[in-house]
Amino acid sequence: PVLVVDFGAQYAQLIARRVREARVYSEIVPHSMPVAEMLAKDPAAIILSGGPSSVYETGAPTLDAALFDNEVPVFGICYGFQAMAQALGGTVAHTGAREYGRTHLTAQGGTLLRDLPAGLPVWMSHGDSVAVAPEGFTVVASSPGAPVAAFEDLTARRAGVQFHPEVAHTEQGQEMLKRFLYDIAGLEPTWTPSNIIDDQVAAIRAQVGDKQVICGLSGGVDSAVAAALVHKAVGDQLTCVFVDHGLLRAGEAEQVEKDYVAATGIRLKVVDAADVFLGHLAGVTDPEQKRKIIGREFIRTFEAAARELDAERHIEFLVQGTLYPDVVESGGGTGTANIKSHHNVGGLPDDLRFALVEPLRTLFKDEVRALGRELGLPDEMVDRHPFPGPGLAIRIIGAVDRDRLDVLRAADLIAREELAASGLDREVWQFPVALLADVRSVGVQGDGRTYGHPVVLRPVSSEDAMTADWSRLPYELIARISTRITNEVREVNRVVLDVTSKPPGTIEWE
């Protein structure tokens, strides 16, 4: 793999994704990992990510110069660029010239910026600057605040940039990353959906052998693709269980029961557990409490279903659609704080007797979608927006019951229909609709006064759900959704739009 060394800023995942978009496999490792351990992973290249704004900052992580005692190609970005310059004998200076945000880069030839325009907008975020490049390096670009803004050493296969090539504001950033990966490090673009499928199928066969496997389908793209992969690998050794917890959106249960089965030929067992889930959720208002109950009951229901299946065939493995960002966010990658207890990671009970099969554990969401398409899953399923495991329970602000679920489902369906009709589905990462079930406000309808509930529209754009911005949907669309909801859903007399980015807000309200 290409290792992306995380120096603690939020950019490592983005870099890892960009590398994979260039069709090269990448993994994130913490900067605290000893160099020997990194090398033991047989890295094709190492990318040092951004981090603190200066190598002089107190507590700034150090870079072990042993990293350069071997032939592995290295690319330093921002902080990683400075740390690399320092470790190789260059000079980093307190110039006092800070650059934050968009700045203008002047290219001076070389391989990294070959064939790109001589003047380029790039995104910078630094206090100090590299004053003198290390021996053997050629300076290939400068900016007003960074005389050495990019350098390369083609013999040693090392390069670095002061700016952030991974962010969209650096328009040619992906091109530069490719120049490093292909032309400097000499890597091949082999990380393609069909290769990923072949690799995963082989890995699943090796892990599972001739044993029986069970998979829970949630209605979402992750479990659907995970199950389809396992089915491709071991066929009828897989039985899928669809736990209908009663917290899904309108039409979703039917889609799993009909379309998915038709597309894959997977054996499916449907468990209607709505009464059990709603019973346990009755009166519960605390978000984390809701999540814990749902996570627990989900696994319990599985175990019960598995025991039944066991009578026919002995089950040993459980498929989980865990994604790479879940692994990284839950501390598996970098020790990043666990902000919400996502119930598919870390929330499994200790007495769970299945071994886990997690074929998506190394993948980002867009890769999972590409796999789903390649595997022939229905478009509506592959393109579906992410939907939280706890479902509508965390979109009802207040206690959950059947009536409230029906109200939210009706409002949510209208929002989904109108978004789809507008053709803007792909512009939006997710479009939660939340019901403020304990809030009432006064309205007027016809001649009568109403005292109903508000719903919140929360369309967001995002790349990975780690950060998000509220979607600037056309007012006409918002207006249509608002009019339809207040006309068609009797209990709702007010529609409000959430205009908060993440951070400080999260995408979901709970």
Kindly tell me which residue out of 280, 296, 313, 340 binds ligand XMP, with binding defined by CB under 6 A: 340
430 scored as a contact of ligand XMP (CB under 6 A): yes
DSSP output for 44-93: SEEEE---SS-TTSTTPPP--GGGGSS---EEEETHHHHHHHHHTT-EEE
Chain position carrying tokens 């042993």: 66
Applying the rule CB under 6 A, the residues between 17 and 76 that interact with ligand XMP are none
Residue 231 annotated among the catalytic residues of the structure: no
**Residue 506: CB minimum distance to ligand XMP, A:** 3
Strand partners, 317: 213, 355
How big is the CA angle at 206 (ends 317 and 195), to the nearest 5 degrees? 110
Residue 215 annotated among the catalytic residues of the structure: no
Residue 130 in marked binding region? no
Contacts of 109 (CB under 8 A, 6+ apart): 140
Pairing of strands 355-357, 315-319: parallel
Part of the chain binding ligand XMP (CB under 6 A), chosen from 95-103, 342-350, 398-406, 449-457: 342-350
Question: Which two tokens mark 82?
Answer: 């400075």
Given 31, 126, 164, 343, the catalytic residue = 164
Residue 222 in marked binding region? yes
**Residue 459: CB minimum distance to ligand XMP, A:** 13
Given 78, 99, 240, 358, the catalytic residue = 78
Cα–Cα distances (Å) from 491 to 283, 408, 412, 442, in that order, read 20, 10, 13, 12
Residue 342 annotated among the catalytic residues of the structure: no
Kindly write out the interface string for residues 448-477 of this chain, putting x where it contacts ligand XMP by CB under 6 A and - elsewhere. -----------------x------------
- Examine residue 503 and say whether the peptide bond preceding it is cis (omega within 30 degrees of 0): yes
Kindly tell me which residue out of 245, 343, 384, 494 binds ligand XMP, with binding defined by CB under 6 A: 343
Strand partners, 51: none
Applying the rule CB under 6 A, the residues between 287 and 316 that interact with ligand XMP are 291
Kindly tell me which residue out of 134, 325, 388, 459 binds ligand XMP, with binding defined by CB under 6 A: 388
Of the two residues 316 and 510, which places its CB atom closer to ligand XMP in the complex? Answer: 510
Count Cβ atoms within 10 A of the Cβ of residue 300 and give its class: 0-12 exposed, 13-18 middle, 19 or more buried.
middle
Of the two residues 231 and 343, which places its CB atom closer to ligand XMP in the complex? Answer: 343
**Residue 443: CB minimum distance to ligand XMP, A:** 29
**Residue 245: CB minimum distance to ligand XMP, A:** 12
Given 21, 99, 152, 166, the catalytic residue = 166
**Residue 265: CB minimum distance to ligand XMP, A:** 27
DSSP output for 201-264: HHHHHHHHTT-EEEEEE-SSHHHHHHHHHHHHHHGGGEEEEEEE-S-SPTTHHHHIIIIIHHHH
Under 8 Å between Cβ of 162 and 80: no
Applying the rule CB under 6 A, the residues between 234 and 293 that interact with ligand XMP are 291
Q: Which residues bind ligand XMP (CB under 6 A)?
A: 291, 340, 342-344, 386, 388-390, 430, 465, 502, 506-508
Active site residues: 78, 164, 166
Q: Residues forming the annotated binding site?
A: 218-224
